[in-house]
């Protein structure tokens, strides 16, 4: 991209480059620091001796790593991990499958009234969750699905539809039409063409969608605290609410527990960071 011209640039602009580098470096370092400082301050508080009142950001002389073990047990992390995984497994594959099918119908099969359906979904893209939450509670109560993971999963699948279909539609628009026509001439029906040609081709788009949906599900807070009473049946983020309520006075344990509750996403992010960054940047641009 912009590297090519710099090679051929005359001396003068190379000097401006160097001049501009220093403030840039300072700025970016500052913003990097700004991003991690609250997390470091949390970590430092979590490592202080229990029962003491931590002071700002100060690395403890004798880091109490076992605080994390205590917090693990107090916050019931084992149960919560299981619960969050179950919810993610209930939401992510369903969202991926259903939205891909719908986008395929919209773009490749060109279903009648598809434009209308898509417009309806577009409105949903900007709806704040707050507007659905009160009736959702009543509705799930009527369906007998309140306080259950099934109810939470169903609601989340529905709420994810606008973005997911939008995302997969954008992918299908990049697939050359000749491809499905060729499949049609080979006698493959829509279902076969979908399974054998379109789903494999959608791999990268699906992977990004999966990551984004995983993240939003795992971090889902409002729906989790409203629709599920028992913190042990919630997502990690939702469980944080009851943990904060119980340990708000014990700063050491509160911070240790919160570090544990956010650790899984951070770990997954660090492992898959390339994919995450790509997906998040694209997700933002498309949404």
* Of residues 89-118, those binding other proteins (CB under 8 A): 98-99, 101-102, 104-107, 109-112, 114, 117
- Candidate list 86, 158, 201, 246; residue touching other proteins; CB under 8 A: 158
| Helix 11-46 with 251-271: angle, nearest 10 deg | 140
CB atoms within 10 A of CB 103: 24
Q: Does 129 bind other proteins (CB under 8 A)?
A: yes
- Token duo for residue 189: 């029906």
- Candidate list 7, 119, 128, 249; residue touching other proteins; CB under 8 A: 128
Distance in Å, CB of 66 to other proteins, minimum: 20
Distance in Å, CB of 233 to other proteins, minimum: 17
How far, CA to CA in Å, does 238 sit from each of 91, 178, 257? 16, 47, 13
Q: Does 73 bind other proteins (CB under 8 A)?
A: no
Report the residue number, 72 or 137, with the smaller CB distance to other proteins.
137
DSSP 195: I
- Alpha-carbon distance 106 to 110, whole Å? 5
Distance in Å, CB of 112 to other proteins, minimum: 6
64 Cβ contact list (under 8 Å, min separation 6): 47, 48, 49, 50, 252
Distance in Å, CB of 23 to other proteins, minimum: 6
Report the residue number, 72 or 117, with the smaller CB distance to other proteins.
117
Q: Does 266 bind other proteins (CB under 8 A)?
A: yes
Distance in Å, CB of 206 to other proteins, minimum: 15
Q: Where are the alpha helices (DSSP H) in 143-202?
A: 149-172, 177-185, 190-193, 199-201
- Candidate list 124, 199, 207, 250; residue touching other proteins; CB under 8 A: 124
- Alpha-carbon distance 207 to 203, whole Å? 6
- Token duo for residue 55: 């002071």
Distance in Å, CB of 80 to other proteins, minimum: 12
Q: Which part of the chain contacts other proteins (CB under 8 A), choosing from 64-72, 73-81, 133-141? A: 133-141
- Alpha-carbon distance 191 to 101, whole Å? 10
Distance in Å, CB of 78 to other proteins, minimum: 18
- Candidate list 41, 64, 76, 147; residue touching other proteins; CB under 8 A: 41
- Token duo for residue 192: 């076969």
Report the residue number, 88 or 136, with the smaller CB distance to other proteins.
136
Binding mask 161-190 for other proteins (x = CB under 8 A): xx--x----x--xxxxx---x--x-----x
Q: Which of residues 42-61 bind other proteins (CB under 8 A)?
A: 42, 45, 53-57
Q: Does 74 bind other proteins (CB under 8 A)?
A: no
Question: Of how many residues is the chain composed?
Answer: 287
Q: Which long-range contacts (CB under 8 A, 24 or more apart) does 83-88 make?
A: 83/149, 83/232, 83/233, 83/234, 83/235, 83/239, 84/218, 84/234, 84/235, 84/236, 84/264, 86/149, 87/149, 87/152, 87/153, 87/156, 87/217, 87/235, 88/214, 88/217, 88/218
Distance in Å, CB of 37 to other proteins, minimum: 7
Q: Does 154 bind other proteins (CB under 8 A)?
A: yes
């Amino acid at each position: 991209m912009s590297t090519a011209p710099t090679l051929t640039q005359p001396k003068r602009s190379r000097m401006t480059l160097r001049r501009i580098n220093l403030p840039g470096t300072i700025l970016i370092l500052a913003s990097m620091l700004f991003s991690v400082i609250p997390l470091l301050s949390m970590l430092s508080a979590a490592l202080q001796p229990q029962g003491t009142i931590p002071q700002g950001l100060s690395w403890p002389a004798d880091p109490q790593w076992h605080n994390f073990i205590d917090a693990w047990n107090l916050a019931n992390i084992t149960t919560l991990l299981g619960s969050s995984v179950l919810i993610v497994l209930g939401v992510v594959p369903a969202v991926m499958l259903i939205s891909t099918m719908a986008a395929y119908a919209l773009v490749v099969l060109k279903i009648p009234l598809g434009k209308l359906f898509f417009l309806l979904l577009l409105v949903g893209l900007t709806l704040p969750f707050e507007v659905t939450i009160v009736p959702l509670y009543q509705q799930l109560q009527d369906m007998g699905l309140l306080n259950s993971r099934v109810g939470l999963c169903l609601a989340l699948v529905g709420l994810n539809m606008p973005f997911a279909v939008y995302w997969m539609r954008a992918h299908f628009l990049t697939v050359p039409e000749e491809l499905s026509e060729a499949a049609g001439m080979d006698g493959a029906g829509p279902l076969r063409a979908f399974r054998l040609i379109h789903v494999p081709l959608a791999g990268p788009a699906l992977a990004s969608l999966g990551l984004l949906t995983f993240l939003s599900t795992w971090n889902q807070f409002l729906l989790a605290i409203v629709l599920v009473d028992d913190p042990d049946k919630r997502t990690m983020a939702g469980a944080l609410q009851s943990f904060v309520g119980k340990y708000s006075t014990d700063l050491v344990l509160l911070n240790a527990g919160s570090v544990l509750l956010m650790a899984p996403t951070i770990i997954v992010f660090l492992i898959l960071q390339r994919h995450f960054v790509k997906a998040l940047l694209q997700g933002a641009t498309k949404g």
